[in-house]
Structure 1
Amino acid sequence: MTTENKSRFMNQAFEKLKNESQKVYDKRFSTSYKRKMTFESVLGWFALMVKYFLLYGLSFIILYPLIQQISIALRAPEDINNPLVLWIPETFSMMNFKISVIVLDYWTALKNSIMISGIVTILQILSTSLVGYAFARLKFKGQGILFGIVVASIVVAPSTIELPLKLTLMNFLGTGTSLLGSPNVLYILAATGMGIKSGIFIYLFRQFFRGIPEELEEAAHVDGANPLQVFFKVMLPNARGAMVLVGILSFVWQWNDAYFTANFVSKMNSDFATLTTKMMSIRNAIQGAIQQAGVWQLFDQDVTQNPLFTSMVLNTSAMLAMIPLLIFYLLVQKILFTEGIERSGLVG
């Protein structure tokens, strides 16, 4: 056998061995790869199903009370004891809304709620932003201790300081003048950094101001500005995000407040009430509301003693109190709310 033939034979044998090895490799590893891809596909499909299951489940849990509330509000009062009516009312009626408007003295209470919540929100923003700036930028003795007290005030129950506050307000600044029964009480508390959840707002502003470059302040100081001028002309205009977040939370919490408003204002002055405090006394006003609405003849005289009917009116009243807040959220959520959270020190 010549050298050329030997070389050709060796090449053919090598190619044959190579082809056989490739076939074995393809058969073994392609099957494993296919199995892996199939497993990953099934796993991804299963994860997607679990994700949507949890998403729809949580959505239902969140929306269930609202759907039920709307269903009850649109139900005719005579169907309250009808066991066949669960979700869709047999007879749609706006009677519950009519009775609730009278029970709440809705338009007067709405005006009071908007006035108190709006003024308190503005005062809360001014006072807590100023305190937050002081803790973030100014250096003074006892700063750490005072900030610790501010943080501790977040977890202190309002009832703990109710008595000393009332004693102070009954004899305001030793003048013998009582401020109880007037919404000015809430304005004073908000302006002095003692409003609802003021400790949280101070903390948010402190975190925000600590994130603003110090060079801005230094440039203002070089131009001869004092700390107050730096705050109002440099820091506060740059705190738009934090101001929006604090404004939204302050407005909503004051709107829903029943403790401070009832104990310091409404209980001392029955002529001044908000939607929330009106709801607290709704059980005692249902009978008069039915008579005032001119529909007493449509009900049994014992209907006001029916806890289901009372709950139905209370449910509808809660919807009427909630509608202005929903409108408020819709107006601000796309414009400023997201920016307020991102720039307030809560993320990042």
Structure 2
Amino acid sequence: MQDLQLLESVERYLRGEMSSDEHAAFEQLRKTDPDVDQLVVEHTLFLEQLTSFGDRKNFRAMLNETHNSLTQTGAIRKEATPGKVISFFKKYKKVTAVAASIAGITTLLIAGLTMFYSRRANTAEIEQLRREFKQEVAKRTNEVYNKVKDGFPIKAPENAQPISGGTGFLIDGKGYIVTNAHVVKGSNSVIIQNNKGQQFRATIVYQNDTTDIAFLRIEDADFKSNPALPYNIRKTGAELGEALFTLGYPREEIVYNEGYMSAKTGFNGDTLSCQIGVAANPGNSGGPVFNKNGEVIGIINTRQAQAEGVVFAINSRNIYAALHQIRKEKMADTSIQTLKLPASSVLKGLDRVQQIRKIEDCVFMV
């Protein structure tokens, strides 16, 4: 009964039916009880999926109603009566059989070609923003040599060839980083690098290709934990038109860009992500998206091909869902169980240069 009452409270909260006092009390409950907060996040996603299903069902019903209406008015011809069909079939069954065989083969060929070109078209519509290093091995060899000269030890295994890279950022000062799953997909080892060029070894502790989120854990004696991260991770998204900025590694140094929230959903109405108007290039995948107060509202992962400034970011609330999932999967890992996402930001009111100075040490090349 208590669970039903809690679920009813969540629905009233999401529908905006609570009084101001009830709303404030429920907000406080979300902050103090992670299970309640996770229930709100999961129920929000459930309602969004339910709404999407309802829209599709209503659209299908509308099509059927339109078809029936056009049939009744004679705009669409009715199917032939069974008697005529049988008579026609008996008379021309040999010709029909041959024609059906040809039609079947043709249909299969057309379907195959359609699927082939559709896959190519869909793949071409959006592109992931990880860096491919196949053509940069020689260049990076020289960079590695320069870093050795600068006194930074190389942490990559000997003779290891970089496959891909992107960006990641701390979600816990003990050394937990979030990035995109596609950035680390297929890797045998993960090396991260800070804005000073220092490298650290890391391991993948969580990877979800569906949500495109991965958690890394820095496992390197040279890493010094950060007791308090300067930013927090929002459980709600930004408003349409809200100013945003990003930090990432599309090149060998950290790069800043600014833009705005251009749509609350991602590609083809994807409710797990949003669309932002900002410049992004290969290497920006996994990078944080901040609002003006220095709160993380998303993680960059893709952009629309052949379109300028159409970039998609995973909503930050999915980081909470991923944390909830990994805690269930790794019950015996005390480090995972004590992982705590930053809940407050010290960046509000600071100018952009000051904000970046405090953030950049927490953003890594992956």
Structure 1 or 2, whichever has the larger Rg, is: 1
Report the TM-score when normalising by structure 2.
0.24
Bigger relative CO (Cα 8 Å, ≥ 6 apart): 1
Higher helix share: 1
Higher strand share: 2
Report the TM-score when normalising by structure 1.
0.25
